[in-house]
Chains A and B, each alone.
Chain A
């Protein structure tokens, strides 16, 4: 009797473990198929011409130059605004907030913001920035909306990176008579740099692929712009933050929703491949930079 249950248990064990491995295999295959499909169907459409010529609404053969630039512009602008705010907010939560009711309310509100669908945040941007404050569909409106998507994640990342610095480092600073603020800015922040940098780079990946928050804030059109017009107030200047600016991700969505561009599928494939490659570079870059900084900061032994 005992023996037979044992045999059954052994058999179940074998099958279950096999099942787990098979499911893991399926997941890996899905990823390979996804990446393979994007790169194999997309890369043949990516050429220098594709990357450097403007898109066409009604004809075939358009490129993605402006969309690519717009994506980068919004990325940079968003990071410029959200990094300092997230840093400050993360410092507050990690270093100053006492464990009390008020702090738990603050944390809950930030969690709610981070769990809001980005389309809802985009619509809020539309309501406030585009309509109420009349910034219209613009890079600026888009950057603020994406900032809202990004802030709670970046804040949490900052808090975690600071939290990971041992408490003994803070005590070392305090016991020398340094102010709490100096201890944070000169001891804790430098020690947290690897974690902070990794977080910012990963958030850059998210921003670059973001579309839902942008379709009603940065807009769905990419008017012709001039890359030689350096006057940021001129409507045709590539630097003007108040012009409508369809990004690469929005472009892919737009092409497949409107269906008026004859080679929409080819362009989407090419644009998806470009998007994925940029994001791959970002992910790999963050891993490399993160471990480089850890090594640099940590000394050779530890």
Chain B
């Protein structure tokens, strides 16, 4: 697969649009889902997906093979999505306060039943900061190793691990809160 992806990029670099079609069909769903997890807005996500694929088309010749093609594409998606978030008005997204999330983390066994409720998990994931949501998505939806996630989001491996740690604590606290309110 990796070899085939690189061949697609080589063909794209030579202006072969059928290679772009193939590449798009292969990656579009995955890239869209990643962007959507960061932006929480389907219109913006479709827009950013278009920007990402456009960038892939323009930069295909510059791919050096130092990472997997999927890592490279998701990295572009990460940066494009961050650009979009920065252009949004401040205060548009409501994110869980990390300070609050750190306070008195519930016991994992107590929040397990809450974590089995899809709707509540989604509610809590949506409240995470963009950085935490990205790591959760890449680790749990894409099943990527922490090293690859670090390449995608452009930070040290230690930061990826810490973000995941804080995300987990925030999710546990949120789920426990919903349980306490009788929403589960």
- Judge: A and B partners, yes or no: no
